[in-house]
Structure 1
Amino acid sequence: MKIQEITPIVLSSKEKGAATWASTMIVVKVETTDGMVGYGEAVPTLRVSQVFSALKQVSKGFMGQEVERVERNYHRWYTQDFYLSRSFESATSLSAIDIALWDLLGKELGAPLNKLLGGKFRDEVPVYANGWYKDCVTPQDFSVRAKEVVGKGYKGLKFDPFGAYFDWIDERGLKQAEERVKAVRESVGDEVEIMIEHHGRFNANSAISIAKRLEKYNPLFMEEPVHHEDIEGYRKYRSHTQVRVAMGERLIGLKETLFYLREGLVDILQPDITNVGGVTVGRKVASMAEAFDVEIAFHNAFGSIQNAVSIQLASVIPNLVILENFYDWFPKWKRDLVRNGTPVENGRVKVPDRPGIGVEVDEELLEELRADPVPLEVSDEPVWVVGGTWRGY
């Protein structure tokens, strides 16, 4: 079965999500010579037009190749792109195509992805809520919304309590952050896991001050407490804190991941299947983390195809701790795109057994939502934050 056509499709709608980046998807449709279709997903963020263009170029390295040779196809592009290890656009394009090829392989064999990867380690995947705190600013805002989340059956929730602080934080910011975290902890109780999202934006000294203020609330982890590339900052943070560190959503390859593991900078790894190298590399990253006694909590924040493949991969690995989930806070069209194929019930998702990535894509809706790959508007509130939270009180 050979690859005949690869089509990048930008999706958008008037119905927006919890953040600017959540209101767009980049879907990759791969068609074969015998009429089969597979789907993957690439990362939008602020680079919708750039990723769309990159997909057009990366696709040329796959045309006419055999779908079943997923490992060889990955290395074919690795051979071609001299800057793959430094190019987010190339890495997410490669990842999206790789996901679509695994989807096709599963459909060809009539098996869900989990069976191709060794079978289920678990029948249901535990998930935590993200995106739930849109427009939350005061401790009361966070408290009320957190109770609603737990009322839906979630046993874990993640949030960013830092407002508009970036790189450094002062006493006022520390006080506000602590009040928000305290409000959430008191509203959900001690049996629910809370996770503190830093969005990789602080220097080491500020991150250490944050950890000392918030560790008493027993967070499951502190996510990206310092800038991703700040290796010395991570080392300093590790030597001055006792909290668990989660990071990895910005990793774009196997060997880059190895560096953070070998240096002992991470307790819970968060690779993103849509930019680390698709299923082909994502499975290797999880196994490598297992060898370092590091647990996995896949980053899973963009769209419903990414969510579907993340559930499949999360179901087969022994070292999963929990999976990120935006599903209930997606704009409705993202759920409709996969015919609501991955609902969350009591904080868990039953692993779908449909062939491929486990969901059926609504092709009519796909065409209806098709949009031009235009640059996103830039405002004072960055696109990576949950909307309406970039402020103090």
Structure 2
Amino acid sequence: MATIKEIEPIVLYEQETDARWASYSILVRVVTSDGRVSYGEAVPTLRILPVVSAVRQTARAFLGRDPHEISAAFYEWYRQDFFLSRSFESATALSAIDMALWDLKARELGAPLYELLGGKLRDRVKVYANGWYGGCRDPQCFAEKAKEVVARGYDALKFDPFGPSFNSITSEELRRAEEAVAAVRDAVGDDVDILIEHHGRFNANAAVEIAKRFEPYRPYFMEEPLHHEDIEGYRKYRSLTSARIAMGERLISAKEALQYLVEGLVDVIQPDACNIGGVTGSMKVAALAEAFSVEVSYHNAYGPVQFALEVQLSAVTPTLYRLESFYDYWPQWKRDLIGDPFRLSQSSVEVPRGPGIGVAVNERVLEKYRAEPSEIPVGEEPVWVVRGTWR
């Protein structure tokens, strides 16, 4: 019987791009005793060093185990790590390993991942564009770039118009944000979904004011309008606005997701396979979302292994809205890492039918961009915004 022989975190880096986190990827390579290899992906952001360390520690619970026993290994780490439910680093390490094991199992069976998850509900997955507005600080820039996004074939796009606002928002900042949203709506017309990214930065009063000002522009959803942990703020926002709420990229367990679902505080939930528990955790959240009649839109920002895996997840998710996509706005090396297989048509991508997640990691590209784990400099512009938009 083959066992898990090696689990290695690999940091990849090229150059600064439209967000510093987009310049990095953390892949997690799983190797079995009979030589089979698969990859998962972890979250970089400002946490590269602690995430790499967490992967190495989490690996100790998986080494020597049967790679087929994914659930058993998942719950063994749940048993071992007393703080898993409160540790992003532990959660993303577990998620990446879980992703790799599901891909490994599907490859061994010669089946696409979606077949192991019950079979696909759709041949193509609708996507929305993100990462397209680098450097935009005025309405004209947002409008011009939004037109380019639509010209590529997208009929939904997301953007953050809030500049340097954090927690509260001044009248002048709100005016500038509204002008950007109005310009985008005018540029793309009424048949394109516009999605407003708040990056979980506002208190309840500011978020409510923003929602009311943006109503005329009919955003499909308002993403993370409040700080993630502000449950009371979400209750206030729900009671005072008619906005459709999207959130979930910072959730690290299905039980945490349930807190928002059971109170009706989310309309479009956005689990991220890289920190919700990989395939195992994602499927639990998708099932909960269906039970609460909530749409699912997987958060999908970090890299190509995550993208390919979440295309598979999206294919089997009953209440799917769309999959987030930075794919066309990443540096080229990230697409080359998996052979650049995804082509947009009618704002959707085809679900690969090959074994596992349907793509293979190019080892030459991986070795070319392999980097030593290191700290990321902290500057005035946070790493979580699209570069050049913090004004």
TM-score normalised by L of structure 2: 0.99
Aligned twin of 2:363: 363
Tell me by how many angstroms 1:342 deviates.
2.3
State the match for 1:4 in structure 2: 5
Q: Quote the offset at 1:184 in angstroms.
A: 0.2
> Which residue is 1:240 aligned to?
240
Q: For residue 363 of structure 1, report the CA deviation from its aligned partner.
A: 0.7
Is 1:293 the counterpart of 2:293? The answer is yes
Q: How does 1:261-340 map to 2 (within 5 A)?
A: 261-340=261-340
Structure 1 CA distance for aligned equivalents of residues 258 and 229 of structure 2: 14
Matched position secondary structure for 2:238: helix
Counterpart code for 1:290: E
Quote the Cα distance in structure 1 between the aligned partners of 2:278 and 2:9: 16
| Larger displacement relative to structure 2 (343-352 or 78-87) | 343-352
The runs of 5 or more residues in structure 1 that have no matched partner are: none
Match of 1:81 in 2: 81
Give SS of 2:286's match: helix
User: How far off is 1:111 after superposition?
Assistant: 0.5
Q: Deviations over 1:98-155 (max 9, x none)?
A: 0000010011000110111011100000000000000011100000000000000001
Which stretch has the larger CA shift, 343-352 or 194-203? 343-352
- Measured in 2, the distance between the counterparts of 1:364 and 1:171 equals 51
Kept in 2: contact 1:95–1:274 (CA 8 A) = yes
Give 3-state SS (helix, strand or coil) of 2:49's partner. Answer: helix
Residue of structure 2 in register with 1:172 after alignment:
172
Letter in 1 for 2:75: H
Alignment of 1:8-23 (within 5 A): 8-14=9-15, 16-23=16-23
* Structure 2 residue aligned with 1:353: 353
What is the identity, as a one-letter code, of the residue corresponding to 1:269?
I
Letter in 2 for 1:45: T
Which structure 2 residue ranges, 5 or more long, are not aligned?
none
Residue 215 of structure 1 deviates from its aligned partner by 1.2
Shift, 1:346, TM fit: 2.9
Residue aligning to 1:343: 343
CA distance in structure 1 between the aligned counterparts of 2:165 and 2:293, rounded to whole angstroms: 33
- Take 2:344 and 2:369, find their aligned partners in 1: how far apart are those partners? 24
Letter in structure 2 aligned against 1:310: E
Q: Distance in 1 between the 2:258 and 2:230 partners?
A: 16
Shift of 1:38: 0.7
Deviates more, 1:341-350 or 1:106-115: 341-350
* 3-state SS of paired residue (2:275): helix
Which residue of structure 1 lines up, in the alignment, with residue 33 of structure 2?
A: 33
Which SS does the other structure have where 1:276 is aligned? Answer: coil
Q: Distance in 2 between matches of 1:86 and 1:343?
A: 38
Distance 2:139 2:174 in 1: 13
Q: Which residue of 2 aligns with 1:92?
A: 92
* Identity fraction in percent: 59
In 2, the alpha carbon distance for the partners of 1:67 and 1:311 equals: 23
Deviation by residue 1:210-244 (Cα, 9 ceiling, x = unmatched): 00000111101000000000111000000000010
Separation (CA, whole Å) in 2 of partners of 1:287 and 1:168: 35
User: Would you say 1:215 and 2:203 are equivalent positions?
Assistant: no
* Distance in 1 between residues matched to 2:18 and 2:28, nearest whole Å: 23
In the alignment, which residue of structure 1 is the partner of 2:387? 387
Measured in 2, the distance between the counterparts of 1:143 and 1:181 equals: 9
Instruction: Read off the aligned partner of 1:8 and give its amino acid letter.
Output: P
Amino acid of the residue matched to residue 7 of structure 1?
E
Partners of 2:54 and 2:249 lie apart in 1 by 20
Partner AA of 2:106 in structure 1? G
Matched AA of 2:249: E
CA distance in 2, matches of 1:39, 1:108: 14
> Helix, strand or coil: the match of 1:365?
helix
SS in 2 for 1:273: coil
How do 1:93-242 and structure 2 match up within 5 A? 93-242=93-242
Q: Which amino acid aligns with 1:73?
A: A
Number of aligned residues: 390
In 2, the alpha carbon distance for the partners of 1:124 and 1:34 equals: 34
The answer to whether the 8 A contact 1:341-1:360 is kept is no
CA displacement at 1:174 relative to structure 2: 1.1
**Alignment partners' CA distance in 1, 2:264 and 2:128:** 25
Aligned-partner Cα distance in 2 for 1:184–1:117: 38
Cα distance in 2 for residues equivalent to 1:190 and 1:102: 40
Q: CA deviation at 1:17?
A: 2.9
How do 1:252-267 and structure 2 match up within 5 A? 252-267=252-267
Contact 1:17 1:329 in 2 (8 A): no
What is the CA-CA distance between 1:345 and the residue it aligns to?
A: 2.5
Distance 1:89 1:4 in 2: 22
Aligned residue type for 2:8? T
Displacement, 1:341?
A: 2.1
Distance 2:361 2:5 in 1: 19
Residue deviations 1:281-301 (CA, integer Å, cap 9, x gap)? 101110111100101000001
Aligned to 2:150, what secondary structure does the other structure show?
helix
Distance in 1, Cα, partners of 2:301 & 2:369? 19
Q: Distance in 1 between matches of 2:344 and 2:39?
A: 22
- Contact 1:222/1:244 (8 A) holds in 2: yes
